[in-house]
Structure 1
C-alpha cells in the first residue's frame, strides 16, 4: 500500500514553497522507502525553486538526508529495513565504462527510483537530485542508500549527502591536497568550509580562506583556515601569493563558480598547481584565459562533481572520523528547523546568515 505523508514542494518558478500531502508508493524492484530523520537545506534546493536546474515543476525539494530504511523492493541486497543510511544522488550502475575501469565514482549511468511520488491528485513530482527528502519518507533507488554507523546524529550525517561531501572531496579527492601542502579556498559557505575542514584533516600547512563576508571568514577560521582574505578589501591573487612565499597555492578551490572567481583561482595557483571548480556556474557563464599561461603553468584545471566521491567508501569513513572527534561535522549545523520553516531557511541562506539549516522530522 502506498503512503500519504507531508512534504515540501516548489510548485512553480520563484513561488514560495508549500507543505503538502505527497503519495509515496511501495518500493518496486531495486527501490527502497526511507523514513527521513533529518535533511539539510542546500543551495541546490533554492536553485530548483528558482528554475535554475530545469523547469520540471513541481519539485519535491530536499536531498541532504539521513534516515532509516523502512521497506525494500525485490532484488535489493544493499540495505535491509532498519538500516541507518545517508542518501546519495549518484547510485552507480556497476556496468558503464567508468565502472568497468574500476572508477565507479565517475559512473556515467547513475540512476534513481523508477516510480514517481505524486500529489494526491496524481500530479507527478520531480524529486530534487533524484531524492526529494523534505518529507516524512521518500522513495529512492536502493543504491542511493549508504549504510553508516547508527551512532551518528542524523542531522549531521545527512549533510554528507551533498554539500559537505562536495567540499571535502574537492580538496581531498579532486585536488589531492596532502601533508605540508598549501591550499586556498575561494567562497566560504558550506562547501568551501568543508574543503577547508578536509584540507585540515589531510594535513595541509597553509590554508587560505577567501570571501567577501567577514562572518564567513570567521567560520573558516573555526574549520582550520590559517589565514583569511577579505577580497573586497584586498586583491585575492596578490594576497594568496604573499602568503605562499610569492609562489601561489598548491591547490586552489573555487567554491563560488563565477568567471571572476575562477580567474582568481587560475592566477593564484603555483606552477604545476591545481585548480578545482566545485561551485556551480550558471549556464550562460563563460571564461577567457590566456592559453600560453594554461600551457606554461602546467598542473591541472579540474572540475569536481560531488567531490569525486564514492558514497560507499567516503560516507562511512567521514562518519567514523566525526564520531572520533576528528572531523567537525556537527559544526556545519547553524539551526534545526521543521518542514514549515524551509522558506525562511532559504531567505537566511540567501543573506549568508547560516552554513546549514537542518530540517528535523
Structure 2
C-alpha cells in the first residue's frame, strides 16, 4: 500500500524549497523502499534547485543518504527488509559494453526506480535528485542503488559516501591512482576536495598540497591530511605548487572546483607526464581553451572522475570498514546535523562556505 511521507521539494528554478507530503508507492519489480535515517546536503542538490542540472521540476531533493530497507519488490535478491544500506546513484546494469568489459564503475546504463513518487496534493510526478530523492522520511529506489554496509556505523556518517566523500576519495585513489610517495595538489577544499585529501593520505602520498581562497577551508584541509596549504587569492598557485615539489609540479593535481581558470591551474601545476583529475562539476556554459602544443608537450593524463570512478558494492563497505577501524574519520566531514525544515538555511550556509557538510537526520 502506498505511503505518505514528508519530503523537501524544489518547486521551481531558484524558488525556496518547501516541505510537502510525498506519496511513495509500493516497490515494483527490482525496486526497494528505504526508510531514510540521514542525508547530507550536497552542492548537487543546490544545482538542482538552481536549475543547473535540468528543468524537470518539481524535484524531490537529497541523495547522499543512508537508511534501512523497509520493503522490496519482486525479483530483488541482493537486499532484504532490515538491511542497513547506503544509497548510490550509479546502480550498475551488468550488461552494457563497460560492464561486459569488466569496467562496471563506468557503467553506461545505470538505472533508477521505474515508478515515480508524487505530490499528495496534486498527484504530480516528482523528479528525484540523482534518482534517489532522500530528503524524505522514505524513498523509492532501484534495489541496485542500495549498498549494504556494516550497521554499526552512524547513518549521518555513512550517507556521506553516497556522493561527495566518495567522489573525492575516489578521485584520488581510483581515478588519479595516487600511490605511495606521490605528490598531490588539490584545488578547491570543500567537501569533495577535502575527501580527495583524505584519500591521498590513505593512498600514502608524501606531499599533499591544499589550494583554496579561504583560510578557514585551508585550516580544515590540514586536519584532513594536507601537508601544505596555498591561499590562491594571495599567491600564484602554480608557482607555489612547483616550489613545494622541487620545481617540477605535482604528480597528481585534483581540480575540485569545476571552473576553467582552476582547471588551467591544475594543468600547469602538474609535473611532466603527471595526471590532472577533474572532479569539480562545471556548468553548461563554461568553455576551456588550452594550447594544443602544451597538451601534447606536457604528456601525462587528463581525466574526468565520475563519482570517484567508484563501484559501490566494492568501495562503500571497504571505506566503512576503514572508518570503523579508525583509519578514515568520516565524522570529520559533518559540520552540523539538522532537520528537514532547515535545508534552505543549509543551502545558504553552504553558499557562504560556513559548513563542510550539513546532514539531515530523520
Q: What TM-score, normalized by structure 1, do the two folds share?
A: 1.00
Alignment coverage as a number of residue pairs: 361
Deviation at 1:298, TM superposition (A): 0.9
Question: What SS is found at the alignment partner of 2:65?
Answer: strand
Describe the superposition over 1:164-183 as per-residue Cα deviations: whole angstroms up to 9, x where unpaired.
Answer: 00000001100000110000
Supply the distance in 1 between the matched residues of 2:294 and 2:135 (Cα, whole angstroms).
Answer: 46
Supply the distance in 2 between the matched residues of 1:63 and 1:296 (Cα, whole angstroms).
Answer: 41
Does residue 72 (structure 1) correspond to residue 72 (structure 2)? The answer is yes
Supply the distance in 1 between the matched residues of 2:201 and 2:100 (Cα, whole angstroms).
Answer: 33
2:319 corresponds to: 318
Supply the distance in 2 between the matched residues of 1:14 and 1:257 (Cα, whole angstroms).
Answer: 21
Deviation at 1:55, TM superposition (A): 0.3
2:293 corresponds to: 292
Deviation at 1:78, TM superposition (A): 1.1
Describe the superposition over 1:214-243 as per-residue Cα deviations: whole angstroms up to 9, x where unpaired.
Answer: 000000000000000000000000000000
1:13 corresponds to: 13
Deviation at 1:188, TM superposition (A): 0.0
Supply the distance in 1 between the matched residues of 2:90 and 2:161 (Cα, whole angstroms).
Answer: 13
Deviation at 1:290, TM superposition (A): 1.3
1:2 corresponds to: 2
1:82 corresponds to: 82
Supply the distance in 1 between the matched residues of 2:337 and 2:109 (Cα, whole angstroms).
Answer: 35
Does residue 38 (structure 1) correspond to residue 33 (structure 2)? The answer is no
2:267 corresponds to: 266
Supply the distance in 1 between the matched residues of 2:51 and 2:298 (Cα, whole angstroms).
Answer: 38
Supply the distance in 2 between the matched residues of 1:218 and 1:78 (Cα, whole angstroms).
Answer: 42
1:163 corresponds to: 164
Describe the superposition over 1:179-208 as per-residue Cα deviations: whole angstroms up to 9, x where unpaired.
Answer: 100000000000000000000111100000
Supply the distance in 2 between the matched residues of 1:289 and 1:59 (Cα, whole angstroms).
Answer: 37
Supply the distance in 2 between the matched residues of 1:349 and 1:288 (Cα, whole angstroms).
Answer: 30
Question: What SS is found at the alignment partner of 1:166?
Answer: helix
1:133 corresponds to: 134
Describe the superposition over 1:250-276 as per-residue Cα deviations: whole angstroms up to 9, x where unpaired.
Answer: 000000010000000000000110000
Does residue 336 (structure 1) correspond to residue 337 (structure 2)? The answer is yes
Matches within 5 A, 1:74-153: 74-120=74-120, 121-153=122-154
Supply the distance in 1 between the matched residues of 2:39 and 2:33 (Cα, whole angstroms).
Answer: 15
Supply the distance in 2 between the matched residues of 1:214 and 1:78 (Cα, whole angstroms).
Answer: 45
Describe the superposition over 1:39-82 as per-residue Cα deviations: whole angstroms up to 9, x where unpaired.
Answer: 00000000000000000000000000000000000000110000
Describe the superposition over 1:290-311 as per-residue Cα deviations: whole angstroms up to 9, x where unpaired.
Answer: 1111111110000001000000
Matches within 5 A, 1:107-256: 107-120=107-120, 121-256=122-257
Supply the distance in 2 between the matched residues of 1:77 and 1:341 (Cα, whole angstroms).
Answer: 36
Deviation at 1:145, TM superposition (A): 0.2
RMSD: 0.4
Supply the distance in 2 between the matched residues of 1:53 and 1:78 (Cα, whole angstroms).
Answer: 31
Describe the superposition over 1:115-160 as per-residue Cα deviations: whole angstroms up to 9, x where unpaired.
Answer: 0000012100000000000000000000000000000100000000
Query: Which structure 1 residue ranges, 4+ long, deviate > 2 Å from structure 2?
Result: none
Supply the distance in 2 between the matched residues of 1:216 and 1:77 (Cα, whole angstroms).
Answer: 43
1:47 corresponds to: 47
Supply the distance in 2 between the matched residues of 1:171 and 1:92 (Cα, whole angstroms).
Answer: 22
Supply the distance in 2 between the matched residues of 1:319 and 1:138 (Cα, whole angstroms).
Answer: 23
